[in-house]
Structure 1
Amino acid sequence: MKRLLLSLMLATAGTILPPQAKADPAQTIAANAPVTVHYRSATVDGLKIFYREAGPVDGPVVLLLHGFPTSSHMFRNLIPTLADRYRVIAPDYPGFGQSDAPAHTAFAYGFGRYADLLDGLLSRIGATSYAMYVMDYGAPVGYRLALKHPDRVRGLIVQNGNAYDEGLREFWDPIKTYWADGSARSREALSGLVTLPTTIFQYTDGVKDISRISPDNWVHDQALLDRPGNKDIQLDLFYDYRTNVPLYPQFQEFFRTRKPPTLIIWGKNDKIFPEQGAYPYLRDLPQAELHMLDTGHFALEDKLDEMAPLIRTFLDRQVAKR
């Protein structure tokens, strides 16, 4: 009887888990393998431009353009979620992150110059067609790139990045004063924007659960802001931001005429680029997908779990197959 029961148990086990249904250990390991991120630099017009790169070299390119006061560091958690299929490139602008930061008296810091340098970088590394994730400063840099090469833009992911007058509200009033008079007094009045309390504010204001925000963010960013001479670099950029505003009609014309597939993900509690700057995109891109998230300026820091699936689905549907 015991032999009969043992035979029945073995036979039943064989029907429940046939050999062909067993998982391949090699496939399981590959699926869960850590993503390798490369930390590279290239010299463009005599400047070292640092960039993070991951993913297959022949994959569709996703260009990640950071905001102030951070660097490609802001994308450190997003990159691995895309790199299995996409070639992800995240550069640092001069004066930020690991790129060169020449003195402001020796280099003309500005958004047009950034676009030119990134254009040179992308050409050098063979990235001549790309979807762009633009955030904060990354928006005018990316849109200037789009004006230079409209045929290269395969899609847009817009996160708290402005292209409309409606998006420049109360936070910008002291900066607009500096734009208007260019005075040393108005310039110095902006000094608080490069201090630690403001950096912490940018990461935590509008966030419901601050325990989800790593303090490493402001420690990292502030250390770079506090480098000798960097304050003047940032103040020069605050002043140069005025040159983006007259280009808004051209950015908007690009949206209307080229109709790039667009995903808008916005931290609705952001005081720097508030939600009023998100909705006008729909005037020019009525087919855009818009998601308002209950967070602040650096939405990736506490909403990556919501944002990554939206971004991945958008890219798979709208970019990978184009």
Structure 2
Amino acid sequence: MPVHHRYATVDGHQLFYREAGDPSAPAVVLLHGFPTSSFMFRDLIPALADRYHVIAPDHLGFGFSDAPDAADFDYSFDALAELTAKLLTGLGVTRYAIYVQDYGAPIGWRLALRPGTPVTAIITQNGNAYEAGLVDDFWKPVRAYWAHPGADTEAGVRAALDLEAIRWQYLHGVPDPTVVSPDTWTHDHALVSRPGNDVVQLRLFADYATNLALYPRLHAHLREHRPPVLAVWGRNDEIFGPAGAEAFRDDEPEAEIHLLDGGHFLLESHGAEVAALIRDFLRPKD
């Protein structure tokens, strides 16, 4: 099943996306996190495309999508979710399951909360929705930046753009780091290092505080609408800890939860296992 690499113009911006599978099949939308792109799904897409219509966009400012200067575009998670919704509408995709990781989660939660509840199922891979999932040591400098954005606190979050910090995200918590290709962190670092992209990323770090305020609305949505939830988590992640996966059962008692021996980018070490769990989860039940 071939994977197509395409662009669409949304609100004047070129958005890159990967697409595979029969457009008449049930849709699955893959939403990447920081600092990566749809590149993180390069192996998962063909593993699902025989049965599903799979779409994986690069968020504006990431990957091969446009990255307008922060002076020319008001970067926020609201804005990124709106662009994603318009992309999907333009592709004729109105009902879909989501796979969310890291930044993809708050974008996915906004899609799920849109009128008409277009999201039919939630697959979250270290995609957080609960305060319990925020590991204190990692989030302390980010919280300081939220409280007092400026030169004194910026250094603590700007460090996340360094090559070594991105490499750490990929390798930390992985029992055998040799299974993770250096293409990953090298690719990501090159793209977030484009001129002006540091300011884009700082805007999104600052805006991340709005995601915590969104959590209660998502929890209420889970209790009311009961979308099926699969939480498959790298349990060694020191950004979004496993308590964030287990917390989904607070609002969806039937949530399926798997804690695997991996880290933040679980697909790099456990891709086949995650794909099998997704296929079983999405398979129509008798």
TM-score band w.r.t. shorter chain: over 0.9
Match of 2:205?
Answer: 238
Choose the corresponding residue for 2:38, options 72, 76, 84: 72
Match of 1:56?
Answer: 22
Aligned length: 285
Choose the corresponding residue for 2:79, options 102, 109, 113: 113
Structure 1 stretches of 4+ moved >4 Å: none
Match of 2:60?
Answer: 94
Alpha-carbon separation, structure 2, partners of 1:58 and 1:313: 20
Q: CA deviation at 1:158?
A: 0.8
Alpha-carbon separation, structure 2, partners of 1:141 and 1:268: 22
**Contact persistence 1:150–1:258 (CA under 8 A):** no
Alpha-carbon separation, structure 2, partners of 1:317 and 1:172: 38
1:153 aligns with 2:153: no
Q: Which amino acid in the other structure matches residue 218 of structure 2?
A: F
Q: Give the secondary structure class of the aligned counterpart of 1:277.
A: helix
| Higher fraction of helix | 1
Choose the corresponding residue for 2:191, options 203, 215, 224: 224
Q: CA deviation at 1:150?
A: 4.8
Choose the corresponding residue for 2:178, options 211, 224, 239: 211
Match of 1:310?
Answer: 277
Q: Give the secondary structure class of the aligned counterpart of 1:98.
A: coil
TM-score, normalized by length of structure 2? 0.97
User: Which ranges of structure 2 fall in alignment gaps of 5 or more residues?
Assistant: none
Q: CA deviation at 1:151?
A: 2.5
User: Which ranges of structure 1 fall in alignment gaps of 5 or more residues?
Assistant: 1-34
Larger radius of gyration: 1
Q: Give the secondary structure class of the aligned counterpart of 1:221.
A: helix
**Residues 169-180 of structure 1 mapped to structure 2, 5 A cutoff:** 169-170=135-136, 171-180=138-147
Deviations 1:19-78 (A, max 9, x none): xxxxxxxxxxxxxxxx20111111111111111000001010000000000000000000
1:149–1:212 CA distance, 2 compared to 1 (3 A) = farther
**Contact persistence 2:111–2:118 (CA under 8 A):** no
1:286–1:247 CA distance, 2 compared to 1 (3 A) = same
Higher mean alpha-carbon deviation, 147-156 vs 230-239, is at 147-156
Q: Which amino acid in the other structure matches residue 63 of structure 2?
A: G
1:184 aligns with 2:151: yes
